[in-house]
Amino acid sequence: MDRTAAQNTASSSLGRLYPPIEPFDRRRLDRGDGHNLYVEQCGNPHGRPVIVLHGGPGGGCSPMMRRFFDPGHWRIVLFDQRGCGWSTPQASVERNTTADLVGDIRAIAAALDLEPAVLFGGSWGATLALAFAQAHPHAVSALVLRGVFLGRQAELDWFYGGGAGRFWPDLWARFIGPIPLAERGDLIAAYHRRLFSGDRAAELRHAQDWMAWENALAGMDTMSSGTAPPDYARAFSRLENHYFTNSCFLKEGQLLRERHRIEHLPAVIVQGRYDMVCPPISAWDLAQGWARADLRIVPASGHALTEPRITTELVRAMQEMAAG
């Protein structure tokens, strides 16, 4: 299906994903420090740029992420963050910090002449969007955020300290099961020792356990806790654990404290009412006092990008931005 047909199909179905598209450009960006990034562009080469920031850290992009945008209007840029997806070296945590990722976005924007661009990110992607926008506010025209995670200790404590486990005690028991009682006071540290043990078989096994806990809570209905492809699971779990071990390489409360740097920018914040991974309080805290922020709390929805109401609201937000 060509771009015109895709645009016409979606225009009659407000809020629905656009048909699948293929990139018009795929490239590698060598960052000169051992990391090589996969970058792709879709949609209109002369359209308004939007940079998609995937979650995790370590989640990588997927073809489905291209479909939130009218390909006749938007120049859609996706990339796999350091160590995951098609970027190399896979699962590497060397020179892999939030500041490094912010630098990568700036390098991509410069290489493709994107500034200013809309930033579209969910969960960790929302964290990274805020960090980049606060560091380079002139390079951003707007933000569309989903399932906000601010990198605060309270958020990590909620998910890895037993808070979410009070709602899903059976799944929590499965997550803490592989960890001896003496180490359960700090599960991030306990899993870090196992995910970076040097024993690849053990790393793969514990990577599946780490991923299963998050995946199971991502949707309103318990999602499949089946195993993920081994290399993907290892990259995702190592990278996410690495960032959480280091408090996401952010100072406590930094993204709220520095919000004044981006308050001139428009933002749409899409938040599931029953998000168990990133509870709504973070989106609420971010939006309070930000006059140009439009907080949309979506009923009967959790965390996942693929939840029907979340998907619909994100597509609608991008359609409204394109029309405005």
For the annotated catalytic residues, the residue numbers are 123, 275, 303
> Exposed, middle or buried: residue 96 (CB in 10 Å: 0-12, 13-18, 19+)?
buried
CB 272 within 8 A of CB 147: yes
Bridge partners of residue 240, in order along the sequence = none
Nearest to 155 by CA among 247, 219, 258, 259: 247
* Cα separation, 157 vs 165, whole angstroms: 11
* Cα separation, 124 vs 9, whole angstroms: 31
* Cα separation, 145 vs 135, whole angstroms: 17
Please state whether beta strands 140-146 and 74-79 pair in parallel, antiparallel, or not at all (unpaired). unpaired
> Exposed, middle or buried: residue 71 (CB in 10 Å: 0-12, 13-18, 19+)?
buried
> Exposed, middle or buried: residue 201 (CB in 10 Å: 0-12, 13-18, 19+)?
exposed
Element (H, E) at 267: strand 267-272
> Exposed, middle or buried: residue 28 (CB in 10 Å: 0-12, 13-18, 19+)?
exposed
Cα dist from 299 to 148, 240, 283, 287, whole Å? 16, 28, 14, 18
Tokens representing residue 286 in the block: 């971010």
* Cα separation, 266 vs 264, whole angstroms: 7
Q: Residue 27 phi/psi, 5° resolution? A: -155, 165
